[in-house]
Amino acid sequence: MARTLAIPFIAFIFAGLLAACGGSHGGALGQPQAFQAIPLGDSLAITDARLPKDTIGVGYPDQVGHVFSKKWKADVAGFTQSHYSQTLAFPPGTKITVTNISKAGEFHTLNVIATRGKPPANFPKNPMLSMKPSGGDKLVVGYRSGILRPGKSVSVTLVKGIYLIGCAFHYLSDNMRDVLVVEPGATPGPTATPPG
């Protein structure tokens, strides 16, 4: 958690430094850790609005909440198709847009970890989660979005099945993981309450 949480925090400090210097040293502060600098004003915070149809929003759990799915016997967080975290459901063949809905500095991925035939989810304790994109245009096991910067999206077509998905940055530290059901007539699970 420390490493990824540090990014917005560092950006915040940089913003403070810039303000303190009157903005005259804007190019001299370097880049936080290994990531490229992104515009400090690039704050989306669209989690207050419902997402467009056929969109999976990927957001930091302190913004989109956690919810315990009784059906899947697991806490899920960080993925939504409407507002706050929930288990996801779409019909097969849907071309979805996966969008990072977090604020500036918060990077996420969508990685497909495994399939399940039925509940419980039984999320693996420590799966291999790469930040490199992989898997082309079909969402199947092994699909990886690659790093999604705030406001950025990728498109992928859903294939029938039940998938465990997770964020390579926050799977372990913030339980950023979910169940994605791709079946005719499937409905999303209960939605998290707004984080306090």
Number of residues that bind Cu ion (CB under 5 A): 5
Q: In the set 66, 108, 144, 177, which binds Cu ion (CB under 5 A)?
A: 108
Nearer to Cu ion, 177 or 182 (CB): 177
Q: Which residue is it, tokens 């294939």?
A: 159
Nearer to Cu ion, 108 or 144 (CB): 108
Q: Give the CA count within 13 Å in the CB-facing half-sphere of 64.
A: 34
Q: Which of residues 154-173 bind Cu ion (CB under 5 A)?
A: 167, 169-170
Q: Are 189 and 87 in contact (CB under 8 A)?
A: yes
Nearer to Cu ion, 14 or 169 (CB): 169
**DSSP letter at 136?**
T
Nearer to Cu ion, 44 or 159 (CB): 44
Nearer to Cu ion, 64 or 121 (CB): 64
Spatial distance between the Cα atoms of 141 and 194, rounded to a whole number of angstroms? 30
Q: Which of residues 17-76 bind Cu ion (CB under 5 A)?
A: none
Cα 173 to the center of its chain, rounded Å: 13
Q: DSSP 3-state assignment of 60?
A: coil
Kindly tell me the sign of the dihedral angle through the C-alpha atoms of 163, 45, 104, 195. negative
Q: Which residue is it, tokens 């809905």?
A: 101
- Shortest Å, Cβ 28 to Cu ion: 30
Spatial distance between the Cα atoms of 144 and 101, rounded to a whole number of angstroms? 17
Q: Which of residues 122-161 bind Cu ion (CB under 5 A)?
A: none
Spatial distance between the Cα atoms of 139 and 53, rounded to a whole number of angstroms? 18
Stretch that binds Cu ion, among 10-18, 105-113, 121-129, 151-159 (CB under 5 A): 105-113
- Shortest Å, Cβ 57 to Cu ion: 12
- Does 176 participate in binding Cu ion (rule CB under 5 A)? yes
- Shortest Å, Cβ 4 to Cu ion: 7
- Nearest residue to the partner Cu ion, using Cβ: 167
Nearer to Cu ion, 103 or 170 (CB): 170
Spatial distance between the Cα atoms of 35 and 131, rounded to a whole number of angstroms? 12
Q: Which spans of this chain sit near Cu ion (rule: CB under 5 A)?
A: 108, 167, 169-170, 176
